[in-house]
Chains A and B, each alone.
Chain A
Amino acid sequence: MIHWETIVKRREFSVLILIGALVVVFSIFTERFLSINNISNLLLQTAGIVTASIGMTMVIITAGIDVSVGSTMGMACAVSGLALTAGLPALLVFIVAIAVGLIIGLFNGALIAYGEIPPIIVTLGTMNLVRALMYQVLGGRWISGIPPTIRFIGLGKMLGIPISTWIAGFLIIAFTYFLNMRPLGRYIYAVGNNQEAARISGINLKTTLVFVYALTGALVGFAGLIYVARTGIVQTNTGMGFELDVIAAVVLGGTSILGGRGTVVGSLLGALLVGIIKNGMILLNVPALSEGLVIGVLIIVSVLLDLLRSKR
C-alpha cells in the first residue's frame, strides 16, 4: 500500500522533482549531460560525499553536528597514503583508514556523551586538533606516487558503474534498513526528538550518541580511502571544507537541523543535486564566477519551496 500523499509531502520528493527538472533542462541544452561518461563522472564525484553523509545524517538526526569530518578525512588520507607508499597491502590499509576515522569518532562521541559538551564545541576542537596532528604526520610534505593496487577502488568500474558508487549505494540501502527496522536505528530518532523522553523510556542515551559519532568517523575514514584511491595525491589541506559539502547535502536532503527527522536517501539526493548543478554549469559553460551564485540561489529556492508547501 503506497501512501502517495505522504510521499508527495516529503522533502525528498521535492528534491527529486528538482533533480528531475535539472536533468531535463541540462539534457535539452547540452548534448552530453546524459552520456554514460558524464553520469559516471557525476557518480564518482559524489561517492565520497554520499558515504560521509550517511553518518552525518544520523548525527544531525540526534540534533548534533560534526564539523570535524573534513579533518578526519584528511587524517585518514594521510595515514593510509603513508601506509600505501610504505608498501602495506591494500586490504590492511582499508582497515587502517576506517580505524583512524573510528578512533576520532569515538573520541568525539565520548566527549559529547560522557563529557556532556555541546557537539559543535567538541567537533570544532577536534577539527583543529586533528588537522594539526595530520600536519605532524605528513611532516609538512605532500604524498604522491600512491601504488596502483589501491586505485581500483577510486577508478575501477563494475558493469559500467564506478566501484565507489556501488559501495556508496550498498551503504545507503543498508543504513536505510538499519534506521527504519533496527531498534538502535529507531533510538537515534527518539534521541533527536526528545532526549528526556528517550532517556525515561529506557534508551541508553550515551551509548547511542557514542555509536553515532563513531560510525560517522568510520564512514568518513572510508571516504578518505576513496579520495586517496581516486586522486593519488594527499595534500596537507586535503579534506578542508569537506564538512560543509557533507552538511549541505544532508540539510538539502531534508534532515532537520533541530533533530528527529531525516533519511539517508534524502542526503543521497541532496549530494546528487549539488553534484548535478556543478556539473551542469560546466557543460552549459556558464562563466565560472557565476557558478556559486546559481548554486546558492537554487539551494535557497529549494528550501523555500519546501517551507511554503509545508505551511499550506
Chain B
Amino acid sequence: MRFKSLLVFLLIATVLFAFSGLAQSKYKIAFVPKLIGIPYFNAMEEGGKKAAQDLDVEFIYTGPVTADVAKQIEVVDNLITQGVDAIAVAPNDPAAITPVLKKAKERGILVLTSDTDGAQEVRDLFVNQALQDQIGYTIMDELAKAMNYEGEFAIVSCGPTAWNLNTWILYELQRLAEYPKMKLVTIRYAEEDVQLAINVTLDLINAFPNLKGIIGQCSTSAPGAAEAVTQAGKIGEIVVTGLSVPSMMRPYVKNGAVKSFVLWDPVDLGYLTVWAAKYLLDGNTFEEGVEYEIPGISTKPWYIAKDKMLVLGPPKVFDASNVDDYDF
C-alpha cells in the first residue's frame, strides 16, 4: 500500500515535471533599448518580434522613455525579478549598468549587449551593427564623393560625451587623410534635438561661407542639418550626409540636400539579437570567421572571438534608389 502510493506520487511528479519542462521550453528573451519611442529602436523592436515569431520564443521589449541611466538600470532589475532567460541591453552608460548586469549573470541569465557595447567581462555577447572603423570610413567616403573630393566641411554631432559618436568621428578624421583637398572647419554639438541641430547648422552656414559639406553624426542632427540647408536655400551648394533613419531623411534625399547617408538595418539588428540569444540558450557556441546563414535577415553575420562580438554586416548606404524601401 505504501509502496503503491509512493509509485503513484512518483508518476504524478514525473508527469508534472515533464509538463513544466514543456511549458518552460519557450525562452523569455528581453531587449532593453536606450529609450523607447524613437523610430530607430521601434525598428529593432519590430525585428525582435519577427525573430520571436520565427523561433518560437517570448520577446519582451521594455525600457526608459528618456535615455536615462538610472531608469534603464531599474528596468533591467525588474526583468531579473521576472526571471527572464536572456537580457539584451543597449546601455546608456556602460559603466553604470555593469553591476546590475553582473547581478543578472549571477542569477544564471544570459547577458547580451546590442547596438552599444557594455563592459566586456559581464556580457556573454555583443551584437554589433557594424564595425566602428567601417562606419566612420563609409561616412567620410560618402561625404567625399558628394563633395567631389574637395572643399570645407563641418560635423554636427549630438551629445559631446557619446562614446560611439566620438569613435566614429575619430575614424572619419583618420580617413580624411586620404582626401587632402578636404578640410574640417569645426565640430559642433546639438544634443538629440532636431531644432537645435537646425539652429546650429544655420549659424554654421553663416559662419563659414565656403562650406561645401556637413556630416550629421546622429539620427536627429543629420535631418536637422539637411533642413537647415534647405531653409537657407543652399541645396546644390552644401551637401549633407551622416547617420540617420530613412523616415527622417527621405524628404531631403528627394529635395537634393542629401545624396546619400549611412546606417545599418535596425530591423535586422533586432532580429539578430533575439536569434543570437536563442542560439546561445540552446547551448551552441559561435566560432571565429564563420559566416552565419540566418533565414530571417539579409546579411551574413560573422563572429570575432577576441571581442566576443557578432557583427551584423558592413554599414548600409541609403540613397534615392533604396530610401523608399524602408519604413523605420
Chain A interface (Cβ < 8 Å from any Cβ of B):
30, 32, 35, 37-38, 41, 44-45, 131-132, 135, 138, 140-142, 144-145, 155, 227, 230-233, 235-238, 240, 278-279, 282-283, 285, 288-289
Contacts and interface: CB of A to CB of B under 8 A. Distances in A.
A231 B206 contact: no
A49 to B, nearest CB: 11
Nearest to B66: A237
Given A145-B251, A231-B227, A235-B38, A288 B198 contact: no
Contacts of A233: 194, 223, 227, 248
Given A141-B42, A227-B195, A288 B207 contact: no
Given A144-B248, A144-B251, A288-B189, A231 B207 contact: no
B203 A282 contact: yes
Given A144-B251, A235-B192, A288-B186, 19 more contacts: A32-B206, A32-B209, A132-B65, A140-B42, A141-B37, A141-B39, A142-B247, A144-B223, A230-B198, A231-B195, A231-B198, A231-B227, A235-B194, A236-B37, A236-B65, A237-B66, A237-B193, A282-B200, A283-B203
Contacts of A236: 37-38, 65
Interface centre among B160, B192, B198 (most CB of A within 10 A): B198
The 6 A-B residue pairs whose C-beta atoms are closest, nearest first, are A140-B37, A282-B203, A236-B37, A283-B207, A38-B206, A288-B188
A38 B209 CA distance: 12
Given A141-B37, A236-B38, A135 B206 contact: no
Interface of B: 36-39, 42, 65-66, 160, 185-189, 192-195, 198-200, 202-204, 206-207, 209, 220, 223-224, 227, 231-232, 247-248, 251
Contacts of A232: 227, 251
A142 B39 contact: yes
Contacts of B224: 231
Contacts of A145: 251
A136 B50 CA distance: 24
Contacts, number: 88
Nearest to A138: B37
Nearest to A40: B202
A52 B200 CA distance: 21
A282 B194 contact: no
Given A142-B39, A232-B227, A285-B185, A41 B206 contact: yes
Interface centre among A38, A227, A230, A233 (most CB of B within 10 A): A233
A160 B282 CA distance: 67
A238 B223 CA distance: 15
B38 A142 contact: yes
Nearest to B161: A289
A37 B65 CA distance: 38
A30 B207 contact: yes
Contact of B207 (A32, A138, A237, A238): A32
Given A32-B206, A32-B207, A140 B194 contact: no
A186 B199 CA distance: 37
